[in-house]
Amino acid sequence: MTIEITHTRREGTLIEGTSRGDGSAEILRLREYGRTQRQPFRWSRNLDCWYLPHSRDHATYTPSLERLAQRLREEGFEVTLTVNNADRRSFSEAEQEREEKAEGRADRFGGYAANAAQSSEAAHRKSHDISERFAFGQPILVGHHSEGRARRDHARMDDAMRKSISDGDRAAHWTGRAQAAANYQEFKKDPGRTLRRIDKLRADLRAVEKWQRGQSAKGVSRNPADPELEIEHQELAEEIAHWEKVIKDAEAEGFKVWSQADFKRGDFVLYRGTWYEVLRVNPKTVTIPHIHNGVGQRIVRAADNRHDGWTWTAPYDDVSGRKSADEMQQPPQVQTSGQQEQAKQSPPIKEPVPTAETCPTSQPGTWHANARRRALGQRLPEGRSTPAMAPAERPNGPDSMALVLITSKNSRRSRKRALWALPRAEAQAVCGDPRTAGRSYMLTWTSQPGVEGADWEWTPDNGRLDAVLSDLGVTPRREWTPAAQAPAEAA
């Protein structure tokens, strides 16, 4: 039987005509093929043939396929090799297929995670049920007729708990994979990232055009008559047009594409959460005081530069807002509303469920000794009585408000990220639920978050925890009102 090796940009590199046990598998599994010459072929049950991973939408490395064909012929096989790099699909078709596959992976991995979580919970419950026999610390009675059963129960408890931990880790793994797949489209279409991608593609297109004119580009020269150059030119033009449409859609939703024309020296630019004074305006960037000056600061002026001669360049695709020097002199409340407006212009990408820096029970509200001591209307030193606070007004009462915070493991941020404002009892229930924590994240709460904008900021809610909130009967809120503080004790 003849083995057919074919390659097109549309389908990739495929090998048909082999059969089990004919000796071809050992040759195809060698890690010597592909554009990197380090890839093996793999068998696909869906295609019912061998395929080369990551070979679609790319030109093949023909010498690699010729070497494969020669090896198969030396083993007695009849081989045909067909290469047609001109047969391709459009970039939009390829990207749409990638998005559909990402959605399929998200659903599939979500099912894996749910099954693993159920298995982990069942194993934990089994271990707990067995442990009820030893609830009061009953030791193993050596020599007693119950010794054998007790030792078997201990072994069963250990096995069940280990299985629970293992399945819990597996659930966290598949949860992360599912979240990554679900965020594929948002990640690819993030406006800032898309602008950087377009700049790179335009540079590649200029290089191809130089090669077509017989000029050198990127330190190399190519044959202007090479038909591959025309195909690459078409691919790059299609890809640039696709991502430019993504940017236009983002602009229609309120995203601002910043450029050199939007700034002048003396303006202020919002760069990664901090306002910096513009020292110089460049074609691709603005020069600002070094970002080391922005640690713990909301506004950095040129006169505040503590590092003489140190500057930083902020690319326009990473800029979130602009204000004139006069606007920066306005009251702080105007600045806060301006920052919120700029945040709407640059919607951040959805992230995997964020986490907290500490255990959910490690940030209780501060104990107000004076409030506790005078809550029943005791006399102040100057003779004025203090009325008792209602339960909802007490800083540590169950109905007092708390802020639910999220962060990621090993993530350092100048401001905490807040998801919701909830009554303290509801915040404790949400943070204590095991479904709100994973391998690299968790939630926590605090009733003393500090100043909004300086110590913490709102982060988008991607809706992933809606099921947990529904089960707990919690209605999330996105408005924070600091709790009333107890009267200070007179000196």
Do 270 and 337 belong together in one domain?
A: yes
Do 108 and 79 belong together in one domain?
A: no
Inter-residue contact 406 to 353 (CB < 8 Å): yes
Do 131 and 244 belong together in one domain?
A: no
Inter-residue contact 303 to 318 (CB < 8 Å): no
Do 275 and 356 belong together in one domain?
A: no
Q: What is the number of other CB atoms lying within 10 angstroms of the CB of residue 381?
A: 8
Please give the order of strands across the beta sheet that includes 268-271.
299-300, 274-277, 268-271, 319-323
Do 357 and 481 belong together in one domain?
A: yes
Domain contains 383: no
Q: What is the number of other CB atoms lying within 10 angstroms of the CB of residue 322?
A: 20
Domain contains 375: no
Task: Assign residue 453 a region (left: φ > 0; alpha: ψ between -120 and 50; beta: otherwise).
Answer: left
The Cα–Cα gap between 190 and 94 comes to: 19
Domain contains 429: yes
Q: Which residues of 197-225 are buried (b: 16+ CB within 10 A; e: fewer)?
A: bbeebeebbebbebbbeeeebeeeebeee
Domain contains 214: yes
pLDDT at 408: 64
Rounded to 5 degrees, φ, ψ at 395 are -60, -30
Domain contains 286: yes
Boundary residue ending a domain (231, 252, 273): 252
Specify the number of domains making up the chain.
Answer: 5
The Cα–Cα gap between 212 and 219 comes to: 15
Do 30 and 43 belong together in one domain?
A: yes
Domain contains 336: yes
The Cα–Cα gap between 200 and 194 comes to: 10
Domain contains 448: yes
CA distances from 296 to 310, 316, 415, 476 (A): 18, 23, 9, 29
pLDDT at 363: 39
Residue 274 is encoded by which pair of tokens?
């901090």
Do 361 and 452 belong together in one domain?
A: yes
Boundary residue ending a domain (153, 168, 187): 187
Do 326 and 272 belong together in one domain?
A: yes
Boundary residue ending a domain (252, 277, 293): 252
Q: Three-class SS string for the chain? A: CEEEEEEECCCEEEEECCCCCCCHHHHHCCCCECCCCCECCEEECCCCEEECCCCCCCCCCHHHHHHHHHHHHHCCCEEEEEEECCCCCCHHHHHHHHHHHHHHHHHHHHHHHHHHHHHHHHHHHHHHHHHHHHCCCCCCCCCCCCHHHHHHHHHHHHHHHHHHHHHHHHHHHHHHHHHHHHCHHHHHCCHHHHHHHHHHHHHHHHHHHHHHCCCCECCECCCCCCHHHHHHHHHHHHHHHHHHHHHHHHHHCCCCCCCHHHCCCCCEEEECCEEEECCEECCCEEEEECHHHHCCCCEECHHHCCCCCCEEEEEHHHEEEEECCCHHHCCHHHHHHHHHHHHHHCCCCCCCCCECCCCCCCCCCCCCHHHHHCCCCCECCCCCECCCCCCCCCCCCCCCEEEEEEEECCCCCCCEEEEEEEEHHHHHHHHHCHHHCCCCEEEEEECCCCCECCCEEECCCCCCCHHHHHHHCCCCCCCCCCCCCCCCCCC
Q: How many residues does the chain have?
A: 491
pLDDT at 126: 95
Do 12 and 58 belong together in one domain?
A: yes
Do 320 and 404 belong together in one domain?
A: no
Q: What is the domain extent for residue 109?
A: 93-137+144-187
Do 78 and 108 belong together in one domain?
A: no
Domain contains 195: yes
pLDDT at 416: 80
Do 438 and 457 belong together in one domain?
A: yes
Along the 491 residues of the chain, how does pLDDT read in single tens digits? Answer: 789 999 999 999 999 999 998 999 999 999 999 999 999 999 999 999 999 999 999 999 999 999 999 999 999 999 999 999 999 999 999 999 999 999 999 999 999 999 999 999 999 999 999 998 887 788 888 999 989 999 999 999 999 999 999 999 999 999 999 999 999 999 999 999 999 999 999 999 999 999 999 999 999 999 999 999 999 999 999 999 999 999 999 999 999 999 999 999 999 999 999 999 999 999 999 999 999 988 888 999 998 888 878 999 999 999 999 999 999 887 655 444 555 545 445 454 444 444 433 333 333 344 343 433 333 334 444 444 444 444 444 455 566 888 888 866 556 666 788 888 888 888 888 887 878 776 666 788 888 888 887 788 888 888 888 888 888 888 888 888 765 544 444 43
Strand pairing class (42-44; 49-51) = antiparallel
